[in-house]
Structures are given as C-alpha cells and as structure tokens.
Amino acid sequence: MSSKLEVSFNSPQCGWMSVGFKDGNGEFHTTTAHAPHKDALAELLAILTSLIKGGGERVLPWNRDPEEFDLRFVPGEAGVLFEVYEYPDPDRDAEERELVFSHTGDAADICRAFAETFRRLYEDRDTDDFEFNWHQPFPVAEYERFTAELGSAA
C-alpha cells in the first residue's frame, strides 16, 4: 500500500472549487465546477459512507468544463483502490480517458482523509458563504451520516 492519502477541497468561489489528492507516489490538483453534476458532494459522501460499511465498487462523475472526471473507488483484498480519471470532454469516451491519480489504502484511512477536508468545509460553510459560492447548499445530512458511520467504525 502507498503512503497516507491527503485530500484537499478548498472553499468554493463563483461555482468553482479547487480539489487535490496527494500521497507518497504522486499528486493531482484541479478545479471543479458545481454543475452539471450538482449532487457530486452529496454523492461522494454517500460513496464514502458505503466504503465504511464494506460496499462495492462505486464511480462518481465530476466535471471541470470542458474536462470531465471520474472518481473511482474499488474495494479489494489489498484495500481500496482510489483512482481519478480525466476525460477531455463531456463525451466521456473510455478510450480517451487518462488515469491522473491512483492510491491504494485502507477504507477507513481513505475515508478519514476525506473526512478532514469535509470537516473544514462544514465548519467554514457560513463564514465562506458556501451555498452562495458553490451555487448549492452544503450536503449536511449526508455529511452527518458519513461522520456518524466513520465514528462508529473507529
């Protein structure tokens, strides 16, 4: 397994958010848009909650405009494989996708890395005017389910 995963989602501005993933083997940073995958944050939290419970493979579509991304989570015997694929356009042709980041680790460790960045977004949501800047509300219910599940798994 690779070293510890670090996840960063910076406070959104004008419908865009900077995201980054880093471990001892590599890193990937980009900006993502709030649309058209408007429920991406809520879906990501649901996927992470599923990982804690031992769920199967899940893929989350995300976008930058014109580029598109898939965040792929694949549980296996060696832990969870987390991959980020980039597509050059909204067609999402698998032949044209590029693996831009990959990390394998324990499901709980991966979820804790995401939990830390979501905790910061949650705590700063009023100060940063999250809803106005992301053009949609913070997914509070999904966040609370995720943190409760992560807490009970510890």
Counting the structural domains of the chain, the total is 1
Q: Which residues pair with 13 in a beta bridge?
A: 16
**pLDDT digits 0-9 by tens, 56-104:** 999 999 988 888 999 999 999 989 999 999 999 888 999 999 999 999 9
- Give me 125's structure tokens: 């949501």
Q: Which residues contact 120 (CB under 8 A, 6 or more apart)?
A: 9
pLDDT at 132 over 70: yes
88 belongs to a structural domain: yes
Question: Could you give the angle at which helices 107-123 and 140-153 cross, rounded to 10 degrees?
Answer: 140
* CB burial of residue 10 (10 Å; 0-12, 13-18, 19+): middle
Range of the domain at 40: 6-153
User: How large is the C-alpha radius of gyration of the chain?
Assistant: 15
| Structural domain includes residue 116 | yes
The pLDDT, as a whole number, for residue 2 is: 52
Q: Is 1 inside a domain boundary?
A: no
Asked if residue 32 has pLDDT above 70, the reply is yes
Whole-number pLDDT of residue 38:
86
pTM, to two decimals: 0.94
